[in-house]
Amino acid sequence: MRAAQTDRRSPTASSAASRAARLRAVHPMLWAAFAALATGAVLCVIGWYGISGERFAERQLPYIASCTVPGAALIVAGAVLLAHGRGALAAARVEELYGLLVAVEGQNPLGARAERAAAPVATSDDLLLVPGGRLLHRADCPLVAGKPDAVTPDADVLAAGATDPCPICAPPTDAARAKA
């Protein structure tokens, strides 16, 4: 029954379910890591307290053997589990984000990127220049849009060829120089 339900899901839904399952699988590892760290710390404190009350080394050895050494081992094991769990959690999150970026249903991401690249960024024939800058922009170029200090370039600046065309909006520099 469950297999039939899984087959009816879309690929995006099944991959989202598998990502959620991976995230749920990581959490017990993190809980185990925190439990091991806490238990190890408690054992080390008990061992230290037991050792501090004994004057002779022969009477301190049982506390070292039964509390301090296992406590230190649990702390190391908890640290390893924590590092592995956090790495697995980060990997699952990165994979989920990647899935969200590339899983656009019914759309080819490469075709969308080519369509975006083919669309012009700016189409205005009015030219602007930022004072002190060397790039000539179209008025609706995203680099100068909304900048109050962008001004229309003088005809002598255009005629002298002191400006370069903006690589983003590609203004018609020859037509502007012909007007000047």
16: its two tokens: 């989202």
- Please give the share of the chain, as a percent, with pLDDT higher than 90: 12
* Strand duo 164-165 + 135-138: pairing: parallel
Three-class secondary structure of residue 131 per DSSP: coil
Q: What is the mean pLDDT of residues 92-121?
A: 64
pLDDT at position 20: 65
Q: What is the mean pLDDT of residues 6-11?
A: 46
Higher pLDDT: 174 or 136? It is 136
Which helix (H) or strand (E) is 129 found in, with range? strand 127-129
Q: Residue 59: is its pLDDT beyond 80?
A: yes
> Residue 33: is its pLDDT beyond 80?
yes
- Residue 86 has a pLDDT of 83
Using alpha carbons, select from 43, 47, 42, 40 the residue that is nearest to residue 79. Answer: 40
pLDDT, residue 16, reads 60
Determine the pLDDT at residue 73.
92
**Average pLDDT, integer, range 124-146:** 83
What is the average pLDDT across 111-140? 73
pLDDT in tens, 72-104: 999 999 999 888 888 888 887 888 777 777 765
- pLDDT, averaged across the chain: 76
At 8 the pLDDT is 47
Question: What pTM did the predictor assign?
Answer: 0.42
Question: Would you place residue 126 in the very low, low, confident or very high pLDDT band (cuts 50, 70, 90)?
Answer: confident
The CA–CA distances, whole Å, from 114 to 119, 122, 171 equal: 9, 17, 21
> pLDDT tens-digit profile of 153-162?
888 877 887 7
